[in-house]
C-alpha cells in the first residue's frame, strides 16, 4: 500500500491556479522527486502535503488516513526548509531537540536521540554551537537532522540543495539518498534541477504550470517523455516539428517544414502535426553518408562546438535550416571543425514522436 | 513571503481575536470620546461661555476654510517636516556609531540617548530656552567669534531646534536597532566589488536601514506635529501652531465646537497621511517574494502603485551609488578631492558626532546644575550652592505620592500595552485581511492627534461615566498612547521576521501558542524591550492629557511639576528632574545588565 | 448577689455604656467627618499658603479632608463646564472674566452671606463678579530697573520711540493680555466697544521681544534684559523684586485694571456646606494677611489689617481699591472670540 496519496488537489491564489488537479501516489520507502521549472506549483504542492497550506479541493491520504484537514503539527510529516529555518536563538542541540521537547520526551531520551541523529549526519560535537557559527552545508545537515529526529512517516524536502555550491551539491544529494535509504523513510523532495532529480529519485513527478505532466522512473521519463515539455525539460533533446504519415510498409514518415523526410517508428495517425524528439547521444557524426536500413542519415554543417572535457556538443545545421545537437563522449571524439560538412545518423527507433 | 501567511488555522477569526483587546481599549478611550467630539463639532458655541447650543450647524467647519487657518496648518506641517529632516541628518550618524559599537560603549551611548527621554519635557525645554536664549551660551559663543547672534527664540527656528532635541532620540533608537541587524560585512562585500566606501554605505547599508528610517521619521513627525509644550515655550507665544490654536479655542475661549471641528479635520488628515505613508514605505523589494511574485497578475492595485514608487526610489538610490562609484573611478581630480575631503570629513564627522551627542544631553547637566543653585530662579550660570531644593522634596509628601502614583500607573501601563500591542502587531503582520492598513493607522493615530484634543475628548467622556480623577481613567488615557507606541515598535521588528521559522516550529509539532512562546517572542525580544521602554516613558512623562483628567489624590508627577512651573519657577522642579535623571540612569543600567543593551537589535 | 439585682446591674451598665457612646458621637459629631472636599487652585506658593492658613483650620473644625487639584485656571474653567453634572471639585478658584461667565451661565452656586459670614465684609468689587472674591490684583506696568531710568507714569509711555522693541504684551486671552489690550485702546481713543485703536496701537509696538504667558519666562526675560516693559500683576512684580529681580511696579495715571481671584462652588457639588466653611476661612484675617505677606495679594475683605510697609505694595483700602479700573467684562467676554481671531492674525507673526 502506498504511504502518501494525493488526489485531485487544486489550489488557487487569487486568480492564479497554482496547482491544477494534481494526483499521484508515493510508495513506502520511496524517494520521490517533484520536478519542474520555477512557478510550476511544486513547492505549493509540497506545502499542501506538509499542511502549511490548505488546498481548495482534493484529498491527501497518509498511510491510509485522511489528513487533508490536519494542521502541520498533527501530520506525520517533517519538512526540511529551503532556507533551513533553523532557530537562530537556539543552539544546535536545542534546534534538534525542539520537536522532541514538544513530544514531552524525558530529557535523557532526548539527549540520546539528538546524539544519535548527529552521529548519523556526521556532526557530533556541535551540540552547543550557535547556528550562526555553522557553514551552509552544516546547517543543511542540522536541518535534516532536526526533521529526521522526529521519526516522521513522510520526509519532505524543499529544494534541499539549491543553497549549496556546486561541489557540495553533488556530495549532498548522494548523501541524502544514502540516509534516506538507510532509514527507509518515505520522502518527497522538490527541485528544479532535472539532473538532481534524475540522479537520486526512485520516481519523478514532473509538473508544469500547475499540472502534473508525467510520472515515472528516471529511465522511463528520460527515454519516453510523454510531451514536448518533458522532453525539453529532462536532459537535452532535439525537438523537430512536422507532419506524420504512414508509408506502405507501415513505417512512419515524418516530414519537416523544410520538406525533408525522416523515418520514424510511431503509431500516431496520419496527417497530424506533431514533434519528433531525438536525444543528442543517439546521433552519430559520420564522415561519409552510408545507406542504412535502420538509421536516418542526413547531411549537415557544424555550426558550433562546446567542449566540456568528457563530452563535446556539436550544433549541426541541416539543409532545411533546422539545428540538431549532437553529443560525443570521451574517447570517440571525431574532432570536427566549425563549418565542416558532416553526416549525422541516428537509429530510427531512437526517434520519439509526440 | 506570502506563503508564510497560509498557515492553516481552524478559525478565520484569529486576527479578530488578536486585535480585540487593543480595539477594546481604543473603543473605550478613543473612539467613543472622539465620536462625542464629532457630535460637538456640529453644535454652536456661545462666545466666552462653556455652554453650547445643541443645534446643528456646519459653521465651525466652514470657518476653517479661511486662509489663516490653512496657513497655521501649513506652518505646523513645515515645522514638523524640518524637525524630522534635522533629526534624521543628525541622528543617523549617531545611530551608526551606536550600531557599530559594542559592549560597554554601546550601552553608555544608548543610555545617553535614552536618559533625556525620561526627563520631564518641560524641564528639558526650559534648559533649551536658557541655552538658545539671546544671552545663552550659544549666542555668547557666536559673539566671541564675532558672528552676529542668531535669534533662535522666540521663533520658528528655536522651535525646530527644540523639537529636534526633544525627539531625536526616537529617531536614533529606531535606526540603530535596525542597523544593528545589518551585516556590515555586506558593505565589505560591496567594496570588494569595486564600490567606494561611501558608495558601499549608500548602496548597501542605507537602503537596508530604510525601515528604521521610516519608523523613526514617522515617530518624530507625528510627535512634532502634535507637540504643545515645546512650541509654546520656544515660540514665545508669537508663533501660532495648530496645537496652540486648539488650546486657545478650547481652553481659553471655551469654543469647544470649533475646537472639535479643528480636531476632526486633523484626525482625518492624520489617518490619511499615516495610511499613505505606511503603504508607500512597506517595501517589498527588500523582502523575498520569489515564488508568489510569479503568481501575481498585473492588475492595478494600490500595492502595485506603491511598489512602483518604492522600486523607483530604490533604483534612484542604486543609481546614485553607481554614479558615485563611476565618478570616483574616472577622474583623478575627484579622487584627490575625495581623499582630501575624506580626511577633513573624517575629522569633521568625528567632532560633529560629538556635538550631536552633546546636543542631546546638554540640557540635562544644565538642569542638574540648576538644582544646586542657591537662588530661587533658574539662571545660567547658577549662583551659589545649596541642596535645599532636594531636602524640600521630602517635606512635600505630595511629590512622593505623585511619584509613586506615576510609577504604579506606568508599570501597569507597560504590562498591559505590551501584551495587547504585541498581539495586535502579530495580527497586523501575519494576516492579510481587508482594511488592515486602515486599522493599523487607526491604532497609530492617537500619536498624531494633539494631546489637547485627546484630553478634552476624554474629559467629557470620562465625566459622563464618572471616571475623571480616577486611577482607571488615567490608565485608560495612557494606554491609548502607549499601545500605539508598542504597535509601531513591535511591528517594525516583525517586518524582517523570517516566517519560515514559525512554519518550522509548527511542522515540528508546536501549537500556535507554543510557537509564539518559544520562537516568535524570543526573537522579537529586543523589539519588545524597546517597546516596553517607550511605553514606560510615554506614560511616565505624559503631561497634557493627564492635566485634564487628573485630580485630587490622583495627580501624576508630571502634572504636579507642570502646575508648579505654571506658577513660579521653583527650582524644586530641577531637583526632581535631577532625581528622575538619576533614576533613569540606574534603570537603564539594570536593563542593560539583565537583557544586554548591547544586543539591541530589532529583527 | 441576688439574681434580680444582677439584672438591674446589667441594665445599668448597659445604659451607662450607651450614654458614653452617645456622648462620644456628640463629641465627634463634626459636620465633615469622613467627607472629602476637593479644591482646585493654582500650584506654587498659593498651594503652600492655602494649606497652612485655610486647610489646617478647616480640617480641624470640620473633620473633613481636603484634596487639592493643582493647575491653571483655564483647565479648571473648562472642567467646570465639562463636569457640570458630576463635578469632581467642590471649589474652583477662577479669574475675573471666568467667574462672571460662570455666574451668568448659572453653573455656580450664588454667594450665601448667611453661611459665609465674611461675605458681608467684602468690598463691592469683590462681590460683583458673582462669587467670593479672595484677592485683588492690579495690572500695572512692570519695568526693568536696570534699563529704564525714568519710571513710566502713563500707559502711553510704553509707545515712546526709545522703547521700541522692548515692550512685551501678554498672551490674549488672559488677565494681563486683555487688560493691556483694553488700556491700549482707552489711551488711544477707544474702549471695550471700540477696540480698533487698541489693536492698532499694539501693532505699533512690533517687533515684540516676546509674547509672555507665564511668570517664569517673564522674570527670566527681565533678568536677561530682553524686556523692559510688560503689563503684569502687581503681586508677581513685588515677589520677583523681593527675590532680587531688577524690576519695579508702576501704576499709570490712567489706572491699573482690576483683576480678581474668586472662589466658586459648582451647582451640583455635594459638599456645598463644607465649601462655604472653607471659603469663609479664606476670607478671614489670617488667610488674607498671609496671602498679602507672601504674594502681595491685596485682601478683598475690608476688615483685614495689614502692616504699613505691606500696604504700599498693593491696592489697600477703599480708596485705592476704588481707583482700580473696572473693565467692562461682559462686553469683553462676548467679544473674546472675535478679538482672539484678530489677535491671531494681526498680533502674532
Q: Of B235, B265, B560, B173, whose CA–CA distance to B227 is shortest?
A: B235
Q: How far is C155 from chain B (nearest CA, A)?
A: 22
- The predicted-structure confidence for B538-575, as pLDDT tens digits, reads as follows 888 888 788 777 766 678 888 877 766 555 556 777 77
Least confident of A48-52, A319-323, B409-413, C149-153: A319-323
The fraction of chain A above a pLDDT of 90, given in percent, is 39
Same domain, B141 and B197: yes
What pLDDT band is residue A157 in, cutting at 50, 70 and 90?
Answer: very high
Domain range spanning residue B543?
A: 1-7+14-38+390-555
Alpha carbons A234 and C325: distance in angstroms, whole number: 104
Q: How many domains does chain A have?
A: 2
User: Which residue(s) pair with A352 in the sheet?
Assistant: A277
Same domain, A285 and A251: yes
What three-state secondary structure class fits C212?
A: strand
Four-residue CA torsion sign, A246, A247, A252, A256: negative
Q: How far is B257 from chain C (nearest CA, A)?
A: 13
User: Which residue(s) pair with A329 in the sheet?
Assistant: A311
Question: Left, alpha or beta for B384 (phi > 0: left; psi -120 to 50: alpha)?
Answer: left
| Higher pLDDT pick, B83 / B267 | B83
What pLDDT band is residue B579 in, cutting at 50, 70 and 90?
Answer: confident
CATH (domain of A128):
3.40.50.300
Contacts of B565 in chain C (CB under 8 A): 214, 216
Alpha carbons B183 and B188: distance in angstroms, whole number: 9
User: Which residue(s) pair with A32 in the sheet?
Assistant: A188, A203
Same domain, A15 and A147: yes
Alpha carbons B358 and C279: distance in angstroms, whole number: 51
DSSP conformation class of C108 = B
Same domain, A248 and A210: no
pLDDT at C244: 86
Same domain, B396 and B374: no
Per 3-state DSSP, what percentage of chain C is helix, strand, and coil (rounded to 5)?
A: 50, 15, 35
Q: A30-41 in b/e burial notation, b at 16+ Cβ within 10 A?
A: bbbbbbbeebbb
Contacts of C44 in chain B (CB under 8 A): 563-564, 566-568, 570
- Determine, for residues A77 and B501 on separate chains, whether the beta-carbon distance falls below 8 Å: no
**Contact map slice: C 145-174 vs B, CB within 8 A:** 171, 173-174
The fraction of chain B above a pLDDT of 90, given in percent, is 6
Same domain, C157 and C167: yes
- Determine, for residues B237 and C338 on separate chains, whether the beta-carbon distance falls below 8 Å: no
Alpha carbons C289 and B271: distance in angstroms, whole number: 55
DSSP conformation class of A91 = B
Same domain, B412 and B521: yes
Q: Which of C70, C173, C220 sits opposite B252 (nearest CB)?
A: C173
- Grid coordinates belonging to C93: 478658584
Q: C210-220 in b/e burial notation, b at 16+ Cβ within 10 A?
A: bbbbbbbbbbb
Contacts of C72 in chain B (CB under 8 A): 563, 566
Sheet holding A341-347, edge to edge: A284-286, A341-347, A295-307, A311-318, A323-329
Whether B403 has a pLDDT exceeding 50, the answer reads yes
Whether A310 has a pLDDT exceeding 60, the answer reads yes
Same domain, A177 and A268: no
- Determine, for residues B506 and A78 on separate chains, whether the beta-carbon distance falls below 8 Å: no
Overall average pLDDT of the A164-193 stretch:
90
Q: Which of B294, B506, B518 sits opposite A72 (nearest CB)?
A: B506
The fraction of chain B above a pLDDT of 70, given in percent, is 70
Same domain, A21 and A67: yes
Whether A146 has a pLDDT exceeding 80, the answer reads yes
Query: Please, are residues B429 and B488 in contact by the beta-carbon 8 Å criterion?
Result: no
pLDDT at B6: 43
Helix or strand (DSSP H, E) at B591: helix B572-595
Is residue B21 packed enough to be buried (19+ CB in 10 Å), middle (13-18) or exposed (0-12)? middle
Contacts of B568 in chain C (CB under 8 A): 44-45, 215-216, 239
Contacts of A99 in chain B (CB under 8 A): 508-510
The answer as to whether C21 is a domain residue is: no
Same domain, A103 and A247: no
The answer as to whether B82 is a domain residue is: yes
Overall average pLDDT of the B105-115 stretch:
74
The answer as to whether C9 is a domain residue is: no
Same domain, C267 and C250: no
Same domain, B486 and B396: yes
Overall average pLDDT of the B390-406 stretch:
81
Whether B7 has a pLDDT exceeding 60, the answer reads no
Whole-prediction pTM? 0.70
What number of CA atoms fall less than 13 Å from residue A97's CA on the CB side? 20
Contacts of A85 in chain B (CB under 8 A): 498, 500-501, 503-504
pLDDT at A112: 93
Closest CA in chain C for residue B151: C209
Alpha carbons B3 and A47: distance in angstroms, whole number: 9
Same domain, C341 and C244: yes
Same domain, B157 and B32: no
Contacts of B603 in chain A (CB under 8 A): none
The fraction of chain A above a pLDDT of 70, given in percent, is 95
Closest CA in chain B for residue A145: B508
What number of CA atoms fall less than 13 Å from residue B368's CA on the CB side? 11
Same domain, B83 and B161: yes
- Determine, for residues C75 and B547 on separate chains, whether the beta-carbon distance falls below 8 Å: yes
Give the DSSP per-residue string, B249-290.
IIIIS--HHHHHHHHHHHHHHHHHHHHHHHHHH--STTS--H
- Determine, for residues C349 and B239 on separate chains, whether the beta-carbon distance falls below 8 Å: yes
| Higher pLDDT pick, C79 / B49 | C79
Query: Is the link from the previous residue into A341 a cis peptide, with omega within 30 of 0?
Result: no
Range picked from A78-87, B28-37, B298-307 for highest mean pLDDT: A78-87
Whether A14 has a pLDDT exceeding 50, the answer reads yes
Alpha carbons B576 and B120: distance in angstroms, whole number: 9
Q: Which of C44, C171, C337 sits opposite B237 (nearest CB)?
A: C171
User: To the nearest whole number, what is the mean pLDDT of chain A?
Assistant: 87
Same domain, A315 and A171: no
- Determine, for residues B238 and C338 on separate chains, whether the beta-carbon distance falls below 8 Å: no
Alpha carbons B378 and B564: distance in angstroms, whole number: 14
- Residues C310, C312, C317: CA angle, nearest 5 degrees: 95
Q: How far is B234 from chain C (nearest CA, A)?
A: 10
Q: Which residues contact A114 (CB under 8 A, 6 or more apart)?
A: A93, A96, A97, A100, A127, A149
Whether B5 has a pLDDT exceeding 50, the answer reads no
Q: How far is B514 from chain A (nearest CA, A)?
A: 9
- The predicted-structure confidence for B221-241, as pLDDT tens digits, reads as follows 888 887 877 887 777 667 888
Closest CA in chain A for residue B525: A89
Overall average pLDDT of the B251-257 stretch:
80
Same domain, B213 and B108: yes
State the 10-residue block means of pLDDT for chain C, 349 residues long: 67 70 56 86 85 92 87 80 85 91 91 91 89 92 91 92 91 88 92 91 88 80 88 91 90 91 93 93 92 91 88 86 87 86 84
- Grid coordinates belonging to B539: 506614560
Same domain, A65 and A26: yes
| Higher pLDDT pick, B213 / C290 | C290
Query: Please, are residues C31 and C273 in contact by the beta-carbon 8 Å criterion?
Result: yes
What three-state secondary structure class fits A353?
A: strand
Domain range spanning residue A259?
A: 236-353
At residue C86, φ and ψ (nearest 5 deg) are -135, 70
Closest CA in chain C for residue B63: C341
- Determine, for residues B375 and C243 on separate chains, whether the beta-carbon distance falls below 8 Å: yes
Beta strands in C14-82 (DSSP E): 36-41, 65-70
- Determine, for residues B253 and C338 on separate chains, whether the beta-carbon distance falls below 8 Å: no
C-alpha A96: how far from its chain's center? 29
CATH (domain of B105):
1.10.3720.10
Same domain, C195 and C211: yes
Alpha carbons C227 and B379: distance in angstroms, whole number: 16
Place of cell 512512419: A252
- Grid coordinates belonging to B483: 499601545
Same domain, C168 and C98: no
- Determine, for residues B503 and A73 on separate chains, whether the beta-carbon distance falls below 8 Å: no
Overall average pLDDT of the A9-15 stretch:
89
Contacts of C246 in chain B (CB under 8 A): none
Whether A25 has a pLDDT exceeding 70, the answer reads yes
Which of B504, B510, B515, B603 to probe by mutation at the A interface, max A CB count within 10 Å? B504
Same domain, B444 and B590: no
Alpha carbons C250 and C231: distance in angstroms, whole number: 10
- Determine, for residues B500 and A98 on separate chains, whether the beta-carbon distance falls below 8 Å: no
Q: How far is B503 from chain A (nearest CA, A)?
A: 7
Q: Which of B253, B555, B567 sits opposite C44 (nearest CB)?
A: B567
Overall average pLDDT of the A232-258 stretch:
79
Closest CA in chain A for residue B499: A85
What three-state secondary structure class fits A244?
A: strand
pLDDT at A232: 87
Closest CA in chain A for residue B522: A89
Neighbours of chain A (3+ CB pairs under 8 A): B
Whether B1 has a pLDDT exceeding 60, the answer reads no
The answer as to whether C303 is a domain residue is: yes
Query: Please, are residues B51 and B257 in contact by the beta-carbon 8 Å criterion?
Result: no
User: Which residue(s) pair with C206 in the sheet?
Assistant: none
What pLDDT band is residue B295 in, cutting at 50, 70 and 90?
Answer: very low
- The predicted-structure confidence for B319-352, as pLDDT tens digits, reads as follows 666 666 666 666 677 677 766 766 766 676 677 7
Closest CA in chain A for residue B7: A52
Contacts of A77 in chain B (CB under 8 A): 507
Query: Please, are residues C129 and C110 in contact by the beta-carbon 8 Å criterion?
Result: no
User: Which residue(s) pair with A314 in the sheet?
Assistant: A305, A326
What three-state secondary structure class fits C260?
A: strand
Q: How many CB pairs under 8 A join A and B?
A: 95
Domain boundary among A215, A232, A249: A232
Alpha carbons B7 and B1: distance in angstroms, whole number: 12
Strand C65-70, strand C36-41: pairing: parallel
Q: Of B409, B415, B421, B412, whose CA–CA distance to B524 is shortest?
A: B421
DSSP conformation class of C110 = P
User: To the nearest whole number, what is the mean pLDDT of chain B?
Assistant: 75
Largest CA distance in chain C: 108
Q: Do B and C share at least 3 CB pairs under 8 Å?
A: yes
Least confident of A37-46, B261-270, B440-449, C87-96: B440-449
Beta strands in chain C (DSSP E): 36-41, 65-70, 91-94, 132-144, 229-233, 247-250, 258-264
The answer as to whether B264 is a domain residue is: no
Domain boundary among A201, A232, A263: A232
Is residue A76 packed enough to be buried (19+ CB in 10 Å), middle (13-18) or exposed (0-12)? middle
pLDDT at A80: 94
Q: How many domains does chain C have?
A: 2
Rg of chain B in Å (alpha carbons): 25
Same domain, A209 and A309: no
Same domain, B412 and B486: yes
pLDDT at B298: 32
DSSP conformation class of A20 = E
- Determine, for residues C71 and B250 on separate chains, whether the beta-carbon distance falls below 8 Å: no
CA-to-CA separations, C345 to A22, B22, B60, C131, C202, in angstroms, rounded: 74, 42, 18, 35, 13
Same domain, C250 and C167: yes
Number of H helices, E strands in chain B: 31, 2
Instruction: Inform me whether the C-beta atom of residue C18 falls under 8 Å from chain B C-beta atoms.
Output: no
- Determine, for residues B507 and A16 on separate chains, whether the beta-carbon distance falls below 8 Å: no
Domain range spanning residue C79?
A: 36-136+259-318
CATH (domain of A275):
2.40.50.140
Q: Of A322, A54, A159, whose CA–CA distance to B12 is shortest?
A: A54
User: Which residue(s) pair with A62 in the sheet?
Assistant: A4, A65
Same domain, A177 and A242: no
- Determine, for residues B7 and A52 on separate chains, whether the beta-carbon distance falls below 8 Å: yes
The answer as to whether C60 is a domain residue is: yes
Whether A217 has a pLDDT exceeding 80, the answer reads yes
Q: How many domains does chain B have?
A: 2
- What CA dihedral angle connects B179, B180, B185 and B189, to 10 degrees? -20
Alpha carbons A262 and B69: distance in angstroms, whole number: 87
**Contact map slice: A 202-221 vs B, CB within 8 A:** none
Same domain, C263 and C253: no
Same domain, A202 and A284: no
Neighbours of chain B (3+ CB pairs under 8 A): A, C
Alpha carbons C278 and C37: distance in angstroms, whole number: 9
Q: Of B221, A181, B485, B567, whose CA–CA distance to C49 is shortest?
A: B567
pLDDT at B327: 67
The answer as to whether C8 is a domain residue is: no
Q: Which of C86, C224, C239 sits opposite B463 (nearest CB)?
A: C86
Whether A24 has a pLDDT exceeding 90, the answer reads yes
Neighbours of chain C (3+ CB pairs under 8 A): B
pLDDT at B249: 81
**Contact map slice: C 249-308 vs B, CB within 8 A:** none
Contacts of B373 in chain C (CB under 8 A): none
- Grid coordinates belonging to B453: 484634543
Same domain, A302 and A227: no
The answer as to whether C27 is a domain residue is: no
The answer as to whether B48 is a domain residue is: no
What three-state secondary structure class fits A262?
A: strand
Amino acid at each position: 500500500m502506498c504511504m502518501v496519496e494525493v488526489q485531485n488537489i487544486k489550489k488557487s491564489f487569487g486568480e492564479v491556479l497554482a496547482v491544477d488537479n494534481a494526483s499521484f501516489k508515493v510508495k513506502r520507502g520511496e524517494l520521490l522527486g517533484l520536478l519542474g521549472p520555477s512557478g510550476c506549483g511544486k513547492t505549493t504542492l509540497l506545502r499542501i502535503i506538509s499542511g502549511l497550506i490548505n488546498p481548495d479541493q482534493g484529498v491527501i491520504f497518509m498511510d491510509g488516513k485522511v489528513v487533508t484537514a490536519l494542521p502541520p503539527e498533527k501530520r506525520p510529516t517533517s519538512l526540511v526548509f529551503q532556507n533551513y529555518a533553523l532557530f537562530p536563538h537556539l543552539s544546535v542541540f536545542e534546534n534538534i531537540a525542539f520537536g522532541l521537547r514538544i513530544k514531552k520526551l524525558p530529557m535523557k531520551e532526548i539527549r540520546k536521540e539528538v546524539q544519535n541523529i548527529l552521529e548519523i549526519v556526521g556532526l557530533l560535537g556541535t551540540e552547543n554551537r550557535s547556528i550562526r557559527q555553522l557553514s551552509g552545508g552544516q546547517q543543511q545537515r542540522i536541518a535534516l537532522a532536526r526533521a529526521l529526529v522526529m521519526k516522521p512517516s513522510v520526509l519532505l524536502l524543499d529544494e534541499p540543495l539549491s543553497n549549496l555550491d556546486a561541489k557540495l551539491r553533488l556530495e549532498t544529494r548522494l548523501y541524502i539518498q544514502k540516509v534516506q535509504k538507510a532509514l527507509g523513510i518515505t520522502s518527497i523532495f522538490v527541485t528544479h534541477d532535472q539532473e538532481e532529480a534524475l540522479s537520486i529519485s526512485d520516481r519523478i513527478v514532473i509538473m508544469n504550470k500547475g499540472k502534473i505532466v508525467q510520472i515515472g522512473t528516471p529511465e522511463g521519463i528520460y527515454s519516453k517523455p510523454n510531451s514536448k515539455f518533458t522532453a525539453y525539460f529532462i536532459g537535452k533533446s532535439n525537438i523537430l516539428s512536422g507532419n506524420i504519415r504512414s508509408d506502405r510498409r507501415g513505417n512512419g514518415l515524418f516530414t519537416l517544414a523544410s520538406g525533408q523526410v525522416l523515418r520514424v517508428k510511431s503509431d500516431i495517425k496520419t496527417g497530424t502535426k506533431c514533434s519528433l524528439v531525438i536525444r543528442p547521444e543517439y546521433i552519430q557524426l559520420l564522415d561519409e553518408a552510408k545507406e542504412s536500413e535502420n538509421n536516418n542519415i542526413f547531411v549537415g554543417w557544424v555550426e558550433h562546438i562546446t567542449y566540456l572535457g568528457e563530452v563535446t556538443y556539436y550544433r549541426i545545421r541541416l539543409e532545411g535550416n533546422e539545428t540538431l545537437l549532437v553529443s560525443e563522449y570521451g574517447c570517440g571524439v571525431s574532432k570536427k571543425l566549425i563549418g565542416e560538412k558532416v553526416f549525422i545518423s541516428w537509429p530510427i527507433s531512437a526517434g520519439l514522436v509526440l | 513571503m506570502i506563503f508564510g501567511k497560509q498557515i492553516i488555522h481552524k478559525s478565520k477569526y484569529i486576527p479578530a481575536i488578536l486585535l480585540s483587546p487593543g480595539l477594546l481599549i481604543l473603543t473605550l478611550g478613543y473612539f467613543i470620546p472622539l465620536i462625542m467630539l464629532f457630535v460637538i463639532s456640529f453644535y454652536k458655541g456661545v462666545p466666552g461661555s462653556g455652554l453650547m447650543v445643541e443645534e446643528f450647524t456646519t459653521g465651525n467647519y466652514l470657518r476653517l476654510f479661511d486662509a489663516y487657518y490653512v496657513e497655521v496648518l501649513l506652518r505646523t506641517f513645515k515645522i514638523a517636516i524640518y524637525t524630522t529632516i534635522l533629526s534624521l541628518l543628525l541622528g543617523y550618524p549617531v545611530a551608526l556609531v551606536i550600531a557599530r559599537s559594542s559592549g560597554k560603549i554601546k550601552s553608555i551611548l544608548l543610555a545617553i540617548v535614552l536618559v533625556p527621554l525620561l526627563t520631564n519635557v518641560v524641564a528639558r525645554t526650559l534648559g533649551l530656552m536658557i541655552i538658545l536664549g539671546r544671552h545663552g551660551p550659544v549666542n555668547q559663543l557666536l559673539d566671541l567669534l564675532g558672528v552676529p547672534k542668531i535669534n533662535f527664540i522666540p521663533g520658528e527656528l528655536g522651535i525646530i531646534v527644540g523639537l529636534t532635541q526633544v525627539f531625536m532620540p526616537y529617531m536614533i533608537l529606531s535606526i540603530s536597532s535596525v542597523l544593528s541587524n545589518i551585516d556590515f560585512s555586506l558593505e565589505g562585500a560591496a567594496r570588494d566589488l569595486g564600490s567606494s566606501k561611501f558608495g558601499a554605505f549608500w548602496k548597501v547599508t542605507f537602503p537596508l536601514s530604510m525601515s528604521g528610517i521610516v519608523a523613526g521619521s514617522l515617530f518624530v513627525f507625528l510627535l512634532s506635529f502634535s507637540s504643545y509644550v515645546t512650541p509654546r515655550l520656544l515660540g514665545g507665544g508669537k508663533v501660532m501652531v495648530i496645537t496652540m490654536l486648539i488650546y486657545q479655542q478650547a481652553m481659553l475661549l471655551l469654543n469647544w465646537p470649533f475646537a472639535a471641528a479643528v480636531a476632526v479635520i486633523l484626525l482625518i488628515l492624520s489617518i490619511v497621511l499615516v495610511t499613505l505613508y505606511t503603504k508607500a514605505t512597506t517595501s517589498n523589494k527588500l523582502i523575498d517574494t520569489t515564488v508568489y511574485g510569479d503568481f501575481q497578475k498585473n492588475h492595478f492595485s494600490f500595492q502595485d502603485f506603491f511598489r512602483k514608487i518604492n522600486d523607483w526610489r530604490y533604483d534612484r538610490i542604486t543609481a546614485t551609488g553607481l554614479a558615485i562609484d563611476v565618478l570616483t573611478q574616472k577622474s583623478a581630480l575627484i579622487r584627490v578631492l575625495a581623499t582630501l575631503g575624506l580626511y577633513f570629513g573624517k575629522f569633521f564627522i568625528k567632532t560633529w558626532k560629538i556635538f550631536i551627542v552633546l546636543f542631546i544631553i546638554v540640557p540635562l547637566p544644565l538642569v542638574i546644575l540648576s538644582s544646586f543653585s542657591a537662588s530661587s530662579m533658574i539662571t545660567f550660570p547658577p549662583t551659589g550652592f545649596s541642596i535645599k531644593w532636594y531636602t524640600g522634596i521630602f517635606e512635600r509628601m505630595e511629590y512622593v505620592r505623585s511619584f509613586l502614583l506615576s510609577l504604579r500607573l506606568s508599570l501597569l501601563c507597560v504590562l498591559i500595552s505590551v501584551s495587547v500591542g504585541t498581539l495586535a502587531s502579530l495580527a497586523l503582520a501575519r494576516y492579510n485581511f481587508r482594511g488592515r492598513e486602515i486599522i493599523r493607522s487607526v491604532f497609530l493615530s492617537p500619536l498624531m492627534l494633539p494631546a489637547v484634543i485627546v484630553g478634552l475628548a476624554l474629559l467629557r467622556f470620562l465625566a459622563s461615566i464618572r471616571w475623571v480623577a480616577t486611577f482607571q481613567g488615567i490608565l485608560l488615557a495612557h494606554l491609548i498612547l502607549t499601545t500605539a507606541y508598542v504597535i509601531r515598535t513591535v511591528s517594525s521588528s516583525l517586518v524582517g521576521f523570517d516566517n519560515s521559522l514559525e512554519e518550522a516550529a509548527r511542522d515540528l509539532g508546536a501549537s500556535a501558542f507554543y510557537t509564539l512562546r518559544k520562537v516568535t517572542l524570543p526573537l522579537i525580544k529586543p523589539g519588545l524591550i524597546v517597546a516596553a521602554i517607550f511605553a514606560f516613558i510615554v506614560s511616565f512623562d505624559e503631561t497634557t492629557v493627564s492635566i485634564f483628567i487628573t485630580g485630587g489624590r490622583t495627580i501624576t508627577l508630571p502634572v504636579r511639576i507642570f502646575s508648579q512651573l505654571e506658577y513660579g519657577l521653583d527650582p524644586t522642579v530641577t531637583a526632581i528632574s535631577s532625581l528622575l535623571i538619576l533614576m533613569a540612569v540606574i534603570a537603564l543600567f539594570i536593563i542593560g545588565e539583565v537583557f544586554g543593551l548591547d544586543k539591541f537589535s530589532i529583527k | 448577689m441576688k439574681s434580680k439585682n444582677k439584672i438591674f446591674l446589667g441594665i445599668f451598665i448597659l445604659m451607662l455604656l450607651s450614654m458614653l457612646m452617645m456622648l462620644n458621637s456628640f463629641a465627634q459629631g463634626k459636620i465633615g467627618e469622613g467627607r472629602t472636599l476637593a479644591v482646585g487652585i493654582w500650584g506654587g506658593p498659593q498651594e503652600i499658603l492655602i494649606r497652612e492658613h485655610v486647610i489646617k483650620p478647616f480640617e480641624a473644625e470640620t473633620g473633613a479632608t481636603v484634596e487639592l487639584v493643582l493647575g491653571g485656571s483655564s483647565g479648571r474653567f473648562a472642567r467646570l463646564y465639562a463636569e457640570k453634572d458630576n463635578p469632581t471639585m467642590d471649589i474652583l478658584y477662577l479669574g475675573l472674566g471666568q467667574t462672571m461667565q460662570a455666574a451668568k451661565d448659572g453653573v455656580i452656586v450664588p454667594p450665601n452671606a448667611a453661611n459665609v459670614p465674611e461675605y458681608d465684609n467684602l468690598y463691592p468689587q469683590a462681590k460683583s463678579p458673582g462669587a467670593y472674591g479672595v484677592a485683588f490684583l492690579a495690572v500695572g506696568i512692570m519695568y526693568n530697573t536696570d534699563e529704564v531710568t525714568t519710571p513710566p507714569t502713563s500707559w502711553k509711555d510704553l509707545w515712546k520711540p526709545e522703547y521700541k522693541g522692548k515692550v512685551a504684551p501678554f498672551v490674549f486671552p488672559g488677565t494681563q493680555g486683555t487688560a493691556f489690550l483694553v488700556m491700549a485702546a482707552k489711551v488711544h481713543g477707544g474702549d471695550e466697544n471700540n477696540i480698533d485703536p487698541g489693536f492698532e496701537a499694539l501693532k505699533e509696538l512690533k517687533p515684540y521681544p516676546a509674547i509672555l504667558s507665564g511668570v517664569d519666562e517673564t522674570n527670566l526675560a527681565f533678568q536677561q534684559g530682553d524686556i523692559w516693559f510688560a503689563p503684569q500683576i502687581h503681586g508677581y512684580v513685588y515677589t520677583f523684586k523681593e527675590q532680587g529681580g531688577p524690576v519695579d511696579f508702576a501704576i499709570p495715571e490712567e489706572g491699573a485694571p482690576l483683576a480678581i481671584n474668586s472662589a466658586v462652588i459648582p451647582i451640583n457639588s455635594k459638599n456645598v456646606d463644607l465649601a462655604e466653611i472653607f471659603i469663609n476661612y479664606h476670607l478671614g484675617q489670617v488667610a488674607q494677611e498671609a496671602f498679602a505677606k507672601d504674594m502681595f495679594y491685596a485682601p478683598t475683605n475690608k476688615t483685614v489689617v495689614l502692616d504699613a510697609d505691606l500696604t504700599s505694595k498693593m491696592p489697600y483700602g477703599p480708596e485705592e481699591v476704588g481707583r482700580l479700573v473696572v473693565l467692562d467684562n461682559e462686553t469683553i467676554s462676548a467679544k473674546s472670540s472675535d478679538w482672539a481671531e484678530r489677535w491671531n492674525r494681526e498680533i502674532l507673526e
